[in-house]
Chain A
Amino acid sequence: MTIIQWILLGSAMFSVGLYGVLTRRNAVLVLASVEIMLSAVNINLVAFDTYLADPAFTGQIFALFVIALAAAEVGIGIAIVLMIFRNRHSADVDELDLMRY
């Protein structure tokens, strides 16, 4: 196994997630695209952890922290989407333009 095959997979998934964040209009699907980006970062971290054979397992532990933060982020994100839906009757991010210049 080479290291670049893992990093290329991580980069490809990160780019796909970026495309989703930029193009999706439904707020829940924007959050799902962010999850793909975080998952790509996890692949990167774990692959480099195995590559470096770190005795402290720093890469894997940071992947665990990323997972915990992603869970917290989804919880807060869904709560915000729910509140926006309650006030505006829509989960479309294009309609949230109150702060636009």
Chain B
Amino acid sequence: MKSRACKPPALGQDATPTPAAMQQSLPLELGGREPTRSGAHSRGGLPARDTVQHLWFCVWLPQLPLEAVVSTGAPGTPLAVVEEHHGIHRILMADAEALAAGVMPGQAANAALALLPTLQLEERSPPREQQALEELAAWLERFSSFVSMAGPDVLLLEIAGSLRLFGGLQALRQALSRGLRELGFAAALAIAPTPLAATWLARASRRVCIRDTENLGPALRRLPLACLDWPASLCEALAGMGVATVGDCLRLPREGFTRRFGARCLLDLDRALGHLADPRSSWRAPEHFCGDYEMTTEQADRKLLLNICEELLQAHESFLLARQLGTQRLSFSFFHFKGPATELRLGCARAERSAARWFDLLRIRFERLVLPEPVIAVRLRGGMTQPLQAESGDLPFHGRPGASQRRFSIAQLAERLIARIGDQSVQATTMVAEHRPQYAWRPHSLLADWSCNTHAEPPPYLQRPLWMLPEPALLPADSGYPVHQGCRLRLVDGPERLETGWWDEDGISRDYYTALRPDGRRLWVFRNRNHESSWYLHGYFG
């Protein structure tokens, strides 16, 4: 390995593939045999740990458009995915039965139907493909802590760290390919020390396993340029020059190649061969849940919808259980065939994952939910998740002797109330250190800031009423005294002068009095000092 700077003419380092390296390539599907290693490095099948740092497992899903489609027909119905090109629907992909009947990719949809009248045609759906890919990526997370999405149909796993856990490369590969088969994906697999090489090898359906960087070059050389995912115009230009494989590319002078085709392709080649670092970003399964339930026909049966919701909540619970998380918010969307979806939001005072508890809240709300139309699909979206705090239950002998068991905690009570009558209608209050009576307290939601309380203590000598009016009410005056509902009030205590509030432009200048009506009611009134004769009622001494 000489440095490239001294030896610029060729892109690759080794001009010819060594036979020893080629033996490292072996079919992936041949189970039960550890890859044999030949040459001087062979040490009884143990991985040469000093030379291999990373090992990338590539999963390429060439039939993803077909696999992402949910077949609605009877089992065994031939299926094909169509894509629109210039107004004509053409077959993009067809399953084995359809292919056997003569349906071919590129065929017009009508021609395919003429060949096979029972053929079920589905429009290609990239969002659904992405969703299927993400579901698969989430499943693959069990094999590696590092799963990366390398394209719309390519997933990469870093498996060097997982080999020991899964009992070696062979066992891991078998488990993976078996799992993929069970999930119904036809995947092309390849293993290589660089992510790009693994991707290219998988795309070329080479089914190889390369563990050392020095063997990469020989394996890549034979790959056709079509599997590199380079722009088609570039591949055509290269083909016109007689360059058909990666090996042909590597033989070209580096400077000329860069000048003609841009630096990106050269960088790709260097990355694939391991000469340049190729950092990948790790994909993480989303920490919030989103589950859909689609129905074949519109449904208006509320009992059935409730059952569907329960099913979704159970899926939500198992999603959170695997992550030891809980969530405080949930939202259900009920989709209609026409018109906007009906939304239903649920909140919980504490992070919660139990499907039974969420279902309890849902039932309260669902009773009064108005569904304008039948429902075609239901979606459950989980809110922001947070680590779940375990709650310790009471021991049976704690509790009041003879007392009935506590049915639910205050948090659960608040949730039930909020679920039925709304967030704004259930409040806790807290004191605020403030002399102006209307600002001396503040309501707060039970869901948002649980147990927040300032320790402002009102002095006991101040007269404060137990009832406060939402807004001070203007009182008429009779020769300087306030009049309430036709009765002249007797001022029995006061004045207590409360002034200023310059900092928020709501300054007051008031004299507060305790006033007594002849019928025994005690009122809290004030005289506005800004307007000499105006009296206001602000509360009752309840």
The answer on A and B forming one complex is no
Listed in ascending order, the chain B residues whose CB lies under 8 Å from chain A are none
